[in-house]
Chain A
């Protein structure tokens, strides 16, 4: 008996095994890896040969000097000698680019200093300090030495600082970056603001539709349901590009307004390549995610509740406000959470229709993944986003209760 049960349990486990493996491989592992990358970057400490896979520590001499001297110490001749020795190693490993890139993440314009110094590594002679200064005056820059000190340990929180528009001053204290380089905080706030706005708009538009869906006779409501779901069945790209066709300044909407004489030809509305474009297109695309949870809580609400309220003396508005609406709150919560989380991480639509000021944080993450190749910063931005959403989720649970959530 017991063995039959455990046999059955083992069988059941083997059945879910593929799913478990799938989730581990496609979800847990990449996210874990990404989180790790956001505070771990060994570009300045370890070189891995792509061909052989051999891992060699780099910048070991400099690291030894950093360990021996406290932060803020002026780089001495000894330090430059260590740097020169490390440059030789870098040259042999063909790794100066890698080390330079790591420093360049935090101090732009420094990558070339590394490649140049490594090229000359053999010719560098004592006094090393002067030799380096001959190559580039910036070798004495205290910021450079601070960054190198930080980077000489693979573990760092500097990427999180960067993701919050913060940096370390040369004495190691945290300060705001130069005003014209502050981008991330603005983008985070914009992302939050636009997501809230989009969630609100989908709610305002979706609530009546869901109500109609839930109360109409079945044959009409089925048709309406198809209309609501239609966006699901067309490619995201097609939908977004059709918004471009509609909204651009030479687009259908502007043409019709001008054609009808409602708008002068010279003041066509700018509805695309700005925040408005992002908001309109994303509201449309995310609308079903609001409508469906709402519909699923509204459908089973017996119409006799509202009738009872009316017979008890409530006007139709009071009956709605006090009887119908409170019963739909779980659906509102679920829809809002769903739309909000999707909106916060949305990428394609803002990239296509957002222009410069309609970009969201995910567009910047993509930029760091694909263009600047600063994966650690991308990871830090993503981790902050993830943390923010978890906090919101927690708040939601505290305020409304997660078991009040009804997804369908």
Chain B
């Protein structure tokens, strides 16, 4: 499969812009390089331009500016059917007048593949998604999850090197979705396919991808592997969008090396790690993950910061406890604690001390 020269830049978006109406840019200055075999997820709120990017790559929309390269070749002049890109649509788009087998046969027939080879490939593709016995059904006779798997098999049956999936699991229930997430990643890695996956479910993005591109307003806010994305968000949009997040607003009062001093709006001063703040006097939004906050003074690590807090609400969630606190004027400060034998269950109204390490506390743009 590998042909050497473009393995590190199999798909390239080079300063791509897109506007539908000639006025507003739906995609603004998109730069993205995708190595061969990578599983990249585009994650972002509704209307942030994810589908538009896929459509440009698949050839159903043209970029207003910039260039998209596929395997080193500019893609603009290649019609969609010659791009060899497998695509799974959000609506599955299984052809309703054909059986499952005919659906899978279609991409092979248009490629002029002989009947015997065709049957073999169809069988292999159906077995791959564990749908071997459904070849003679119509799409309407399948459940949502089964249709989804057929759509996947159809996108893979002609062995494309690049597969695009637009929110393929949106219509499935949680359990099936998790199962399919696993199946898709397994297949993608087994077959060595380069995948661009679109979702607005952040858990899906984190569990499936090699890298995640967080979209907002037509711009990639951060492009990083899931762990970096979660642990070191580069701006407050990413921090807010990925996972749960506590924010405290304040002003930078001093920057010294890799720590800065933030004066919170209620007058307290804390240390934080400056991420995209640069000068003293700038407003900032300090972000701390709920699970990095310690409520048990005995467990506080040396060098940790402590703050006064009032318990507002205690929610029992089985494996964890979720406690809502008032901290420095913020009434939505969430703390997550594991349901361990020695864990205290806090009663609303009590005053407690909480603490965290300054490096877990990131000063981001306000």
Contacts and interface: CB of A to CB of B under 8 A. Distances in A.
A18 interface: no
Contacts of A218: none
Given A312-B106, A313-B110, A313-B111, A304 B91 contact: yes
A308 B97 contact: no
B107 interface: yes
A323 interface: yes
A314 B110 contact: yes
Nearest to A312: B107
Nearest to B112: A313
Contacts of A313: 81-82, 84, 107, 110-111, 158
Contacts of A319: 81
Given A302-B91, A304-B91, A326 B81 contact: no
Interface string B77-91: 001111111110111
B93 A304 contact: yes
B285 interface: no
A307 B93 CA distance: 9
A305 B95 contact: yes
Interface string A90-109: 00000000000000000000
A311 B81 contact: yes
A372 interface: no
Contacts of B80: 307, 310-311
Contacts of A327: 96-97
Interface in B179-215: none
Contacts of A318: 110
Most chain-B CB neighbours within 10 Å: which of A322, A326, A327?
A322
Given A312-B107, A312-B158, A305 B93 contact: yes
Contacts of A311: 58-59, 80-81, 83, 85-87, 155
B97 A326 contact: yes
A311 B154 CA distance: 11
Contact of B81 (A304, A305, A314): A314
Contacts of A310: 59-60, 79-81
Contact of B106 (A302, A304, A316, A322): A322
Given A304-B93, A305-B93, A312 B60 contact: no
Interface string B95-109: 111000000001100
Nearest to A326: B97
A319 B97 CA distance: 13
Contacts of A305: 93, 95
Contacts of B93: 302, 304-305, 307-308
Given A308-B87, A312-B107, A313-B107, A323 B81 contact: no
B351 to A, nearest CB: 57
Interface size class of B (residues with CB under 8 A): 20 to 34
Interface in B42-69: 58-60
Contacts of A153: none
Contacts of B111: 313
Interface string A312-349: 11111011001100110000000000000000000000
Interface residues of A, number: 19
Contacts of A308: 87, 89, 93, 95
A291 B271 CA distance: 71
A313 B80 CA distance: 7
Nearest to B85: A311
Contacts of B106: 309, 312, 314, 322
Contacts of A326: 97
A305 B91 CA distance: 9
Contact of A315 (B58, B81, B87, B154): B81
A379 B155 CA distance: 61
Interface in B210-228: none
Contacts of B95: 305, 308-309, 323
A320 to B, nearest CB: 12
A326 B96 CA distance: 10
Most chain-A CB neighbours within 10 Å: which of B60, B80, B97?
B80
A316 B59 CA distance: 13
Contacts of B87: 307-308, 311-312
Most chain-B CB neighbours within 10 Å: which of A302, A304, A311?
A311
A305 B151 CA distance: 12
Contacts of B158: 312-313
A307 B60 contact: yes
A307 B81 contact: no
Interface in B144-167: 154-155, 158
Contact of A304 (B85, B89, B110): B89
Nearest to B96: A327
Contacts of B85: 311
A160 B79 CA distance: 62
Nearest to B83: A311
Contacts of A309: 95, 106
Interface string A273-317: 000000000000000000000000000001011011111111110
A401 to B, nearest CB: 13
Nearest to A311: B87
A322 B83 CA distance: 20
A110 B93 CA distance: 73
A5 to B, nearest CB: 35
A312 B104 CA distance: 10
A327 B93 CA distance: 13
Contacts of B59: 310-311
Interface in A14-46: none
A302 B93 CA distance: 8
Given A305-B93, A311-B85, 15 more contacts: A302-B93, A304-B90, A304-B93, A305-B95, A307-B60, A307-B93, A308-B89, A310-B60, A311-B59, A311-B81, A312-B87, A312-B110, A313-B107, A315-B110, A322-B106
Interface of A: 302, 304-305, 307-316, 318-319, 322-323, 326-327
21 contacts: A307-B60, A308-B89, A310-B59, A310-B79, A311-B59, A311-B81, A311-B83, A311-B87, A312-B81, A312-B87, A312-B106, A312-B107, A312-B110, A312-B154, A313-B82, A313-B84, A313-B107, A313-B111, A314-B107, A318-B110, A327-B96
3 smallest CB-CB distances across A and B, nearest first, come from A312-B107, A308-B93, A311-B87
